[in-house]
């Protein structure tokens, strides 16, 4: 089973590597959206500092959501997904492999570039650190929940916007505690509770989401 | 099925047998709804006293709170029947779930609308980002997502099952969402603004809300029965009995 | 009895817009749903009747 997971992981990473442009798109989107906000509300530092946690988290959320289109759809189109369903390996394992590779390619880069963007908003150092940690814990949750929505809308017309409609309400708790952790750090109260809750969400998502995604994939492919 | 003298509920689990049952029951629920809502309205306007702090504006709670209760209750019921349809592979349960969604969404809208109209005179703004209203807003998005997903999928059985997965994910998430939003709202606003802190509930107020809630519940059942009958006709149009049924009508 | 006159009732202590705005929209939404359901039922039956008539014609021409 681990071998199967490794195989899926390696394959997806290889495919993503061959299409580095696609992957970079999500990252660039993140940067651009974050840069739009100061242009929209004005450059006043204290206002930006207040907005920063929310803005950075919402942008990360949207970037993750956009990249969901790459999760199952390409494999569905070229028939690989069908083979995965027919393979002897448990579908949950294969799904988990795809989600991990999706996060490595679409979520982790956001974590790495977020501090730079946080500096644009004049966030203090400790807030930047918490931002990274919150994104590190939170973006996998986004990938996991997103996988369920991507599986449900496989091959459906208008699936791009539909995925957004399905997934954004479910992202709200992650957003609240993710942005909340950074806000709490900036305000001086601790971010511990937030991060622990985010960790709880991650644990819950790790258990439930692959299973729900697998069920949704079977429904989509039968 | 073993032939038995005893009545079996499973008899009504097929669209064909449920259709006439729904047709017979529906007027009764509609009548109950009318009576209960009339009684509730009477209580809310003529019996419940004026509130000291909020004046007459508080009378909106007689719609706002029952509508909010119904919106959440209907989502749970929708999740339940969706789940039954997914696990037991029954068509009718999924049809009922599909029929529940629009009514649930409408009650969510009513809760939001009345919430805004209650917020303006009481707290000065048309929208209050408190826990209940914000959760209701997200609930509305969940309903719309469910309906949009089912509308986008052409194959009805796939739509049923996909909707079920979505509804179940939603049911699991609703307590998480509510808890998160509640935490978020107390943090950012402090304890002052809270729609939950309605005027100290005089008994008549509580009874009025309960009667209105019951009335809404009866209404929902009547509306869902009517809608599921339409859904059954549409989905089962290739069967003999629907042809006979429609032939008799048209 | 809370109200001493019709106009007092309608005025709702100055909150007429909010109270009646709520009750009126609720009524409109609920009645609207009922009407929409009735229209949906009629539409379904009409469409199905046409569908069956067309199918009957098809079978007749084939037979």
Q: What is the nearest CA distance from B114 to chain A, expressed in angstroms?
A: 22
Could you report the predicted ipTM of this complex, rounded to two decimals?
0.90
pLDDT tens for A68-81 read 998 999 999 889 99
Full-model pTM: 0.91
Query: Would the pLDDT of A219 be above 90?
Result: yes
Cβ contact (<8 Å) for B177 and A169?
Answer: yes
d(C-alpha B114, C-alpha B139), whole Å: 16
The domain that holds B164 is classified in CATH as 1.20.120
Cβ contact (<8 Å) for B102 and C33?
Answer: yes
Cβ contact (<8 Å) for B180 and A173?
Answer: yes
Cβ contact (<8 Å) for C22 and B60?
Answer: yes
pLDDT of residue B96: 97
Q: Does some domain include residue B7?
A: no
Q: Does some domain include residue B58?
A: yes
pLDDT of residue C6: 80
Q: Does some domain include residue B241?
A: no
pLDDT tens for C1-33 read 567 778 877 877 778 888 999 999 999 999 999
Query: Would the pLDDT of B32 be above 80?
Result: yes
Q: Which helix (H) or strand (E) holds C35?
A: helix C16-62
Q: What is the nearest CA distance from C62 to chain B, expressed in angstroms?
A: 19
Q: Does some domain include residue B1?
A: no
pLDDT of residue C14: 79
Task: Please list the alpha-helical segments (H only) found in chain A.
Answer: 2-18, 20-41, 45-67, 73-78, 80-86, 91-102, 108-120, 125-152, 159-187, 192-221
pLDDT of residue C29: 96
Q: Does some domain include residue B115?
A: yes
Question: Which chain B residues have a beta carbon less than 8 Å from that of C19?
Answer: 56-57, 59-60, 117
DSSP secondary structure code for residue A222 in this structure = -
Q: With an 8 Å Cβ cutoff, is B145 touching chain A?
A: yes
Q: Does some domain include residue B240?
A: no
Query: Would the pLDDT of B232 be above 50?
Result: yes
pLDDT of residue B7: 65
Confidence of residue B51 (pLDDT cuts 50, 70, 90): confident
pLDDT of residue C3: 73
Torsion-angle region of residue A123: left (phi > 0), alpha (psi -120 to 50) or beta? beta
**Residues paired with residue B51 on neighbouring β-strands, in sequence order:** B55
| DSSP-assigned states of every residue in chain B | ----SS--GGGGGSHHHHHHHHHHHHHHHHHHHHHHHHHHHHIIIIISPPBTTTBGGGGGHHHHHHHHHHHHHHHHHHHHHHHHHHHH--HHHHHHHHHHHHHHHHHHHHHHHHHHHHHHHHHSSS----HHHHHHHHHHHHHHHHHHHHHH--SHHHHHHHHHHHHHHHHHHHHHHHHHHHHHHHHHH-SS--TT-PSP--HHHHHHHHHHHHHHHHHHHHHHHHHHHHHHHHHTTTSHHHHHHHHHH-
Q: pLDDT above 90 covers what percent of chain B? A: 62
Confidence of residue B190 (pLDDT cuts 50, 70, 90): very low
B250: nearest CA partner in chain C: C49
Query: Would the pLDDT of A87 be above 70?
Result: yes
- Nearest CA-CA partner of C34 in B64, B106, B70: B106
- What is the residue range of B221's domain? 26-235
Q: What is the nearest CA distance from B135 to chain C, expressed in angstroms?
A: 20
Query: Would the pLDDT of A169 be above 90?
Result: yes
Count of the separate structural domains present in chain B = 1
pLDDT of residue C1: 59
Q: With an 8 Å Cβ cutoff, is A221 touching chain B?
A: no
Q: What is the nearest CA distance from B233 to chain A, expressed in angstroms?
A: 24
Confidence of residue B5 (pLDDT cuts 50, 70, 90): low
Across the range B200-206, mean pLDDT stands at 75
Query: Would the pLDDT of A26 be above 90?
Result: no
The answer to whether the beta carbons of residues A26 and A66 sit under 8 Å apart is yes
d(C-alpha A37, C-alpha A56), whole Å: 10
The answer to whether the beta carbons of residues A135 and A112 sit under 8 Å apart is no
- Which is higher by pLDDT, B128 or A117? A117
- What is chain B's mean pLDDT, rounded? 88
Q: Does some domain include residue B99?
A: yes
Q: Does some domain include residue B9?
A: no
Q: Which residues of C touch B (CB under 8 A)?
A: 1-3, 9, 12-15, 17-19, 21-23, 25-26, 29-30, 33-34, 37, 40-41, 44-46, 48-49, 51-52
pLDDT of residue B4: 52
pLDDT tens for B107-124 read 999 999 999 998 888 888
Place of tokens 């739509």: B159
């Amino acid at each position: 089973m681990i071998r199967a997971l490794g195989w899926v992981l390696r394959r997806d990473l290889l495919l993503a590597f061959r299409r580095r442009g696609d992957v970079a798109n999500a990252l660039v989107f993140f940067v651009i959206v974050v840069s739009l906000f100061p242009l929209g509300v004005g450059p006043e530092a204290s206002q930006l500092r207040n907005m920063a946690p929310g803005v950075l988290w919402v942008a990360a959320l949207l970037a993750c959501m956009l990249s969901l289109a790459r999760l199952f759809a390409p494999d569905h189109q070229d028939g690989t997904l069908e083979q995965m369903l027919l393979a002897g390996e448990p579908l949950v394992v294969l799904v988990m492999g795809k989600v991990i590779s999706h996060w490595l390619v679409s979520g982790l880069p956001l974590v790495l570039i977020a501090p730079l963007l946080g500096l644009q908003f004049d966030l203090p150092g400790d807030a930047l650190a918490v931002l990274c940690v919150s994104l590190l814990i939170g973006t996998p949750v986004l990938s996991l929940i997103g996988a369920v929505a991507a599986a449900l809308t496989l091959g459906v017309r208008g699936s791009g916007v539909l995925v957004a409609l399905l997934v954004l309400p479910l992202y709200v708790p992650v957003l609240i505690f993710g942005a909340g952790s950074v806000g709490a750090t900036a305000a001086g109260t601790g971010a511990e509770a937030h991060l622990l809750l985010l960790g709880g969400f991650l644990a819950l998502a790790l258990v439930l989401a692959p299973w729900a995604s697998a069920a949704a994939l079977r429904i989509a492919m039968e | 099925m073993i032939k038995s003298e005893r009545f079996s509920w499973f008899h009504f689990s097929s669209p064909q047998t449920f259709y006439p049952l729904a047709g017979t029951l529906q007027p009764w629920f509609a009548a109950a709804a009318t009576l209960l809502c009339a009684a509730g309205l009477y209580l809310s306007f003529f019996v419940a006293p004026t509130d000291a702090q909020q004046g007459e504006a508080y009378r909106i709670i007689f719609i706002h709170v029952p509508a909010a209760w119904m919106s959440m209750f209907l989502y749970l019921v929708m999740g339940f029947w969706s789940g039954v349809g997914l696990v037991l592979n029954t068509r009718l349960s999924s049809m009922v779930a599909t029929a529940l969604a629009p009514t649930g969404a409408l009650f969510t809208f009513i809760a939001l609308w009345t919430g805004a109209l209650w917020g303006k005179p009481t707290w000065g703004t048309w929208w209050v980002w408190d826990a209940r209203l914000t959760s209701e807003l997200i609930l509305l998005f969940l309903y719309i997502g469910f309906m949009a997903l089912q509308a986008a999928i052409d194959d009805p059985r796939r739509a049923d099952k996909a909707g079920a997965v979505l509804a179940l994910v939603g049911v699991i998430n609703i307590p998480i969402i509510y808890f998160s939003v509640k935490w978020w709202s107390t943090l950012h606003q402090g304890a002052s603004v809270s729609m939950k802190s309605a005027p100290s509930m005089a008994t008549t107020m509580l009874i009025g809300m309960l009667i209105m809630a019951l009335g809404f519940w009866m209404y929902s059942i009547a509306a869902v029965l009517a809608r599921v009958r339409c859904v059954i006709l549409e989905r089962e149009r290739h069967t003999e009995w629907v042809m006979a049924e429609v032939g008799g009508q048209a | 009895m809370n109200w001493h006159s019709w106009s007092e009732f309608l005025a709702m202590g100055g909150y007429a817009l909010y109270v009646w705005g709520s009750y009126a929209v609720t009524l409109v939404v609920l009645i609207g749903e009922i009407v929409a359901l009735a229209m949906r039922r009629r539409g379904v039956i009409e469409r199905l009747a046409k569908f069956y008539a067309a199918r009957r014609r098809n079978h007749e021409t084939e037979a």
